[in-house]
Amino acid sequence: MKNVTLLVLLCTTLSFAQITLTNTDLSNSFAPGNSATTNQFDATTFNIGSPGGGNNWDFSGLQSSSTFVLQCVDPATTPYANEFPGANLGTYSQASYSGEDANIWGYLSVNGVFGTMGSAIITDSHPGNLITLKNNPTAIEAQLPMTFNTSWSQTYIRTLSINGTPISQTSVSIDITVDAYGTMTLPGGASFEALRLRESTTKNSVTSVTYSFLSKNGAHVTADATSSNPPTSGVIDISGYSWNVAFTSSVEQISGVPSDFSLSQNYPNPFNPSTKIEYSIPEASFVQLKVYDVLGNEVTQLVNEEQSVGTYRAYFSGSDLASGLYIAKLQAGEYTKTIKMTLLK
């Protein structure tokens, strides 16, 4: 009876103001095949809300003057994987570096912490030169699991090299605190529970501060303060901001026009460590597919986007999760359904 009651509550009241980001969240966000469009805009002011909980960050009016697509890749398949041994996540983008168009590969790791090992860069104007930026040790972007009041400090050395020859080294010191949580709304109307991070970075005796807002599915907003000690609430002066909606997951459309909404039982079930979840939508709908543990904690968000008519297959990995019962919940328009999935290791 206790489990039945818990499942009923889970299906009807899945709403949490404070979230925890985990290894699984970041591994799923940066899974090979996923992508996100990063938008950048020069601005002078930005409302960062307040420390603590209960924030409603309305970012629906954010603008974009330039964009680039961040593609998630398997680092082992990239041309410069040998420069960054130990990377288990990777990204690729065609973006600007020092004012030049460039191909940029990013090398990341997630294992208790989410960190940036560095990047490899080839500019269009100097295609024969490999530029590398390497952090020693890996720069910690998120101390995991990460939730409200998580904080950490670190000093690392960033080395700039061209064709393997070191050109410069910079000592970088960071202090990061997760000082607020709430709901953020992005352009297009999608809303996500998010954490606010205040990062103070010191390089060559110069300190800068950024405020970042991060959800479990990778939706992200960052504002660069102009002051080295900006206010912790309200409107602050900034030099610009960047943002992206949730990472587009590796969901594939597998058939044409279904007659009804449906969410099928995952296969295989039980599973270890990955499984497939299929669902159908007979009309264009805004679709959310989330996975929860039996206590109602959100494990990951697999889909959060407008989708056309069709039957879709999503992939879920529990490689960083403990054995047990998990709940997948589909919301598409007015349709809602849950299924129980069992991870056995």
Given this model, what pLDDT does residue 37 score? Answer: 84
Preceding peptide of 137 cis, ω within 30°: yes
Residues of the chain with pLDDT under 70: 1-17, 248-250, 319-320
- Residues in contact with 66: Cβ distance below 8 Å, sequence separation at least 6, in sequence order: 39, 40, 41, 96
List domains and CATH numbers for the chain: 2-18+249-343 (2.60.40.2550), 31-244 (2.40.360)
pTM summary value: 0.72
Given this model, what pLDDT does residue 24 score? Answer: 86
Given this model, what pLDDT does residue 313 score? Answer: 87
Query: What is the sign, positive or negative, of the torsion defined by CA atoms of 331, 334, 335, 338?
Result: positive
> What are the contacts of 62-67 at 24+ separation with CB within 8 A?
62/186, 62/187, 62/221, 62/241, 62/243, 63/39, 64/39, 64/40, 65/40, 65/41, 66/39, 66/40, 66/41, 66/96, 67/37, 67/38, 67/39, 67/40
Taking the C-alpha atoms of residue 30 and residue 70, their distance in angstroms, rounded to an integer, is 10
Given this model, what pLDDT does residue 20 score? Answer: 93
Taking the C-alpha atoms of residue 216 and residue 191, their distance in angstroms, rounded to an integer, is 12
**DSSP-assigned beta bridge partners for residue 242:** 40, 222
Given this model, what pLDDT does residue 39 score? Answer: 93
Given this model, what pLDDT does residue 16 score? Answer: 43
- Residues in contact with 232: Cβ distance below 8 Å, sequence separation at least 6, in sequence order: 48, 50, 51, 179, 198
Q: How long is the chain? A: 345
Given this model, what pLDDT does residue 320 score? Answer: 61
3 state SS of 221: strand
